[in-house]
Structure formats: structure tokens, C-alpha cells
Structure 1
Amino acid sequence: MKFNTIVLIAFLSMANQPQLVIAQTNLPGQAAIGQEVPREVHEIYHNGLAFLKRTQDDRGTWPAGEAAGPGTTSLALLAFLASGEDPNLGPYRDTIRQALRHIIASQNEKTGYMGPSMYHHGFALLALSEAYGMVDDSDLFTPGTSQSRSLGQAVELAVRAALTSQKRNQQRAWRYSPGASDADTSVSGAVLMGLLAARNAGIEVPDEAINAAIDYFAAMTANDGTVGYTTASQGGLESVARSGIVNLVMAIARRKDLPAYQQTAQYLVEHEGDDPGWPEYARYYQAQALFQWDLDVWNRWNEDLIRKLKSQQKTDGSFDGELGVTNSTSMTLLALGVNFRFLPIYER
């Protein structure tokens, strides 16, 4: 994925009471029936969450320089939700609620937009959708305060904002600004995953909107499985992150019948051992895409990832990276979080 400083800043500059039903069938501590999560995964994940818990500020978010905002908050929140600890009674209860308050407070109560960019909005929509149905929000805000929206109401507003932005877009996808007429596959991936998570949570998302976005991703994919950023790929690109995005959204949208799904899967398998640019971002999508594609391939890749992360994790539990310490740590943990299978979006 081609990023520059401006793009990085833009990357994360990013109605009803919920029913308390966790869409999860595996037992705690199991990657699948009969398969224990490796001890190393527990250790890496626990140490990473300890770092994030220590560094959450009084606003409920994390320091991330110019990338601070609801997107940064949401990635960290997702890492906590993916751990399998009870979000209502477990050790991260307060951390999770503080993060949710920050995300909802960032939302425009009229438009539903959670800026300062659609990157932020997409990751925030994903986090709110995953929290919906898992988190008891009855004590999230003091009754009668100006920020008293339920999780369900916040998700519905955020979905409306994403759909409004898509309708304005010539390519029926998304770019940094909610009013943009152009699009890119990275921002669009973040927003579409948020919409798919909302739909999975029971929020109404029109099929027309999902299908239009999937058509956009298919058009951006070349026969060799590479995916363009702002223009369609002609093949031969370094495309691990973007190919992972396309493969994942098509799997979650149940469009594995499309040629682009097979093409991007083949590209990911052929390049599973590569060390891509922006590795934390690429691994975040690689982990989910390979898991949805083939468990044997994912297991092989996951074992290699665990070995790498054991040597890369700092003594304070964090991970360095080009996305800043908070985002790099959160995305790295989320790549490992597939092992636990607790987030509904991580189920297979």
C-alpha cells in the first residue's frame, strides 16, 4: 500500500437497547473445537493489552499524535473486545466504557459522522457494531446527559453517514472526506467492514449499498490478484494489504463466487511469507482474510507471525511501527486476535 505522511495522518487523524447475546460458539481459550490457543499468543496479547490499559488517557482515548481520534480509540477498543474477557464484568470493563464514551462523543448527532476522516468513521463503525450486543450500555452515560445515545442508536447513525457518503461518491465507495467524489480501496475497506459488521449485528444495511461497494472492489482487482489504490490495478503491484482487504470484504459479504475473491486469495497465498510495507496494517487484514480462506494456510502463516511478534514486542508490551505506537500495537494484537474467535466479525 502506498502511503505518505499526508495519507498516514488521514489514515487516523480516523435506537434500540442492545441485546446481550454474544455471537460466539467457541469456548474461552480455544481457537477451534479441540484446538487450544498457543500460550505465546496469550502472553503477547496480555502484555499488549496491559500496555494499552496503562496508556489510555482521561478522555478515554490514546495518544497518537496527529492521528488521535475515534479511529485510534476504536482499534484499541477492538483489541480489548477480541480478548474474550467479559466486557461487562471483566478486568477491562472501565477501559472499554471509557473508549465507547469517547467514540460516541465524537459522533455528529445529526449526520452520524465520526471524523476527522472516513478512515476514523469506518473503524469507529466497526468497533461500535462489534460492541453492540456484547456491551451493556445501560450505565454508559448518566441519564439525561447530552451524550446519552445507546450503542444501537450510535450504530444506526453511523450507518446512515456511511450510506450518505457512498451515494455522493461517483464510484459508490469512499475516500477521506465524507463528501468526496473519488475513492480508494484502503478507506473503502475500513468503511465497508464497518457496514458489514453493522449488518451482522442486525442493523439494516441495504443490499444495494453492499453490492455497489463489492462491484467497486472487483473493478479494482487485476487478474493476478493485485488491487489498485485509487485506480484499477494492471497487475504486478505490491498489494498484500489491498488484496487482503478485497479478499476479506468479499468473504464477509458472502461473495466468494466472484473471480476477484479467488484471484486475491491466490495472491495472498503466493505472498504469505512476504514482509510487506506497513506490516501492522497488512497483517491486520492478512490474518482475517487467510483465516476466512483456508485454515491450513492461516495456521501456517499464524505460526510464523507468533514467532515474529515474540521477538518484536517491547518489554512494556507495545509494538513499534509506522502507524504510531498505539495503532501499531492495536493492529498487531488484532492480527493475533483471530486466534480467540471472540469478535463476531472474526468468526468463520
Structure 2
Amino acid sequence: MRHTLSLILISLLSLAPATRAQDDNTLVEITPEARAAIERGLAFLAKTQNDDGNFGGERYGKHVGITSLACLAFMADGHMPDRGPHGQTLSKGLAFVINSSSDAGLLAAANTSHGPMYGHGFATLFLGEVYGMTPNRDTRRTLQKAVRLIVASQNHQGGWRYQPVPADADISVTICQIMALRSARNAGLSVPKNTIDRAVEYVRNCQNPDDGGFRYMIGSGGSAFPRSAAGLASLYYAGIYEGDEVASALAYLERQRPGTPQASRGGYYYYGHYYAAQAMFLAGGEHWKQWYPAIREELLARQQPDGSWNGNHGTTYSTAMSLIILQMPNRLLPIFER
């Protein structure tokens, strides 16, 4: 009986925010078609989990970042470790991430050779979301170590790069760490203000003044949709919601809204829209009201018959990203709150 009541409560939590949005904004965000697509996608993800809890993916083998994104997709539907129909799936994923922590705090599977800070950022974000909702000693200890490593590896410009050393930096890896630090702070952990201030300065220095988009690195390259979405999201997660840099970045992204002739369809599609949806969600108002239905319909059209989404970085990665985007109206992940 207790288990049945728990499942009913989780179901109500998943449905209530979308219903409230409909009442307040006369906007049906998660349509019946989207709900069915989400259920198929989650079922596909659950079947891809390996015995040790990782969701690796076709290209990367065992990978804490992809595992964490998959787990966040389940959490966005109201599931938690040991709670809900996918509770065991989440518990196994959490155990894999915790067991992948080194003495120095780096979250990376044993065979990860390229860009471990990407995975570390996503994994730290996942731990922050889990700990904020279900406090646990092992999760907290692993999260604390992970945050300390992020702080220690920030470079002199204020950003981060592929390796956990304070060398060079790029905006893509930097946003992963900013989101991780925001999640940890939301969960009650201490994050140095100076670390955030320097990260914000790095992101600002990556913005192109001519079009509002963002470069990949300071002083190098032009604007592109994926990194510009990440750049705007990072400003929001650092607590900057207004200003010329925000307005110009929003205008840059709006010019490439899904369904328009200028819509972004190039490389890093799921990565770019993962951050763009977050940016528009945090911008709120008409930005979100126009953006979400457009990306929702585009993602529904891209879903495969088996419930997955295909992309350059593998079906597990693309499916997790798509599910997180589609479920943002649930408003269940603390990271998506202002």
C-alpha cells in the first residue's frame, strides 16, 4: 500500500506543474503526444543501462557524463533513487557515478581519456540535483570533492577546459562547471563567490559585441548557436538575468528559433538545444511560450520508432538530452529554478 501511494504521489508531482502552467498561461506544454514520446524514450533508456549502472553509449563506453544525463532524464519525470518505477535504475546510475570518483574528486570512468571535465561537470550537476532532493552522506562527500576539484582547476581567465588543470579554457566546458556549481550551491554546499565572479567574467569576454553570440574561446572564432545557447544559460545560472549582454544573446538565439528559416540544424544539435531550452525557460514569458512548442514538435518528429533519438554523439546521449528538454515544463529539477 505504501509503495502504491508513493507511485501515485510521484505521478501527481510530475503532472501538477504542467497543469499549473496550463491554468496560468493557457498553454498546454506537455501534450498527450509529448507524454507518449517521453514514456517511450524513458523505456528505451532503461533498456540501455548496463549491469554496473552506467549508460555509456555507443561512442564513449563507460561514461559518467552520459550516465548522469540519462539519470537526470528520469529525475525530470519525478523518479528518484529507490523511488518510483525507475528508482532502481537511478540508484544503479548514482552508485556508478559515486564509484567513479577519484581521491582527488575527479568523476570519470577508468577508460575516459578525452575531455574528462565535460563528464565531470555533468556528473557533479547530477549529484547536486540528487543531494538537494534526497540528502545522503556518500552523495554529499562525493559532491564536495567534485566541487573542490572544479574550484581548484579554474584557470586565470576564469574558465575551464578538458583536463582538471588550470591551463586554457573554452566556453563549452566552462558552462558545464557553472551549472555544476549552481546545483551544488542550491543543494547547500559552499561555493566561493570569487569562483563564480571569475567564471562570469570569462563568459562575458567570450561574447561577440557585433551579434550577441558567443565565441568558443576568448579572442578566437565567431558566434555559433550551440555555444551561444550555452553562454546565455551560463549567465542565467550565475544569477545574471538582465543587461545588454543578456538582451543581445536572447536576440541572437531568437533569430534561430526552431521552425524558422534560420533555425539551427547543424552540428551539436542536441547539445545546443539542451542549453537553448534552458535559456528560454529561465527567460520566461513569450520567449519560453514561443520556443518550447517549437522545439517540442521538432523533437517529436525526430524520435525513432524504438523511442530513441539519433545524433552524432550516440543515441543514449541524444535521447537523454531530448527527454530533459521535453520535460522542462514538469519543473521538477531544482537547477531549472531561478
TM-score range, shorter chain: 0.7 to 0.9
- State how far apart, in whole Å, the 2-side matches of 1:294 and 1:340 are: 14
For 1:280, the equivalent position in structure 2 comes to 270
The change in CA–CA distance for 1:264 and 1:101 in structure 2 (over 3 A counts) is same
For 1:260, the equivalent position in structure 2 comes to 245
What is the one-letter code of the residue matched to 1:189?
A: I
What is the one-letter code of the residue matched to 2:167?
A: S
- State how far apart, in whole Å, the 1-side matches of 2:21 and 2:294 are: 21
Give the CA RMSD over aligned residues: 2.0
Q: Scaled by the length of structure 2, what TM-score is found?
A: 0.86
The correspondence for 1:93, drawn from 56, 78, 87, is 87
What aligned pairs does 1:133-144 form with structure 2 within 5 A after superposition?
Answer: 133-135=132-134, 137=136
Q: Does 1:120 align with 2:119?
A: yes
What aligned pairs does 1:173-188 form with structure 2 within 5 A after superposition?
Answer: 173-188=159-174
Q: How many residues align?
A: 308
Q: Which moved more, 1:269-278 or 1:181-190?
A: 269-278
For residue 132 of structure 1, report the CA deviation from its aligned partner.
Answer: 0.7
What is the one-letter code of the residue matched to 2:264?
A: D
The change in CA–CA distance for 1:92 and 1:225 in structure 2 (over 3 A counts) is same
Note the residue ranges of structure 1 that are not aligned, 5 or more in a row.
1-23, 138-148
The change in CA–CA distance for 1:63 and 1:255 in structure 2 (over 3 A counts) is closer
For residue 219 of structure 1, report the CA deviation from its aligned partner.
Answer: 0.4
- State how far apart, in whole Å, the 2-side matches of 1:184 and 1:173 are: 7
The correspondence for 2:54, drawn from 24, 49, 61, is 61
Secondary structure of the residue aligned to 2:14 is coil
The change in CA–CA distance for 1:80 and 1:260 in structure 2 (over 3 A counts) is same
For residue 309 of structure 1, report the CA deviation from its aligned partner.
Answer: 2.0
Secondary structure of the residue aligned to 1:150 is helix
The correspondence for 1:157, drawn from 145, 153, 166, is 145
* Identical residues among aligned pairs (%): 36
For 1:291, the equivalent position in structure 2 comes to 281
Secondary structure of the residue aligned to 1:248 is helix
For residue 170 of structure 1, report the CA deviation from its aligned partner.
Answer: 2.5
CA-to-aligned-CA distance 1:278-329 (integer Å, 9 cap, x gap): 2111110011001111332222222122222222111111110011111011
What is the one-letter code of the residue matched to 2:282?
A: Q
For 1:207, the equivalent position in structure 2 comes to 193
The change in CA–CA distance for 1:282 and 1:208 in structure 2 (over 3 A counts) is same
For 1:16, the equivalent position in structure 2 comes to none
The correspondence for 1:306, drawn from 280, 285, 296, is 296
Q: Scaled by the length of structure 1, what TM-score is found?
A: 0.83
For 2:334, the equivalent position in structure 1 comes to 344
For residue 191 of structure 1, report the CA deviation from its aligned partner.
Answer: 1.1
Q: Does 1:318 align with 2:308?
A: yes
For 2:32, the equivalent position in structure 1 comes to 39
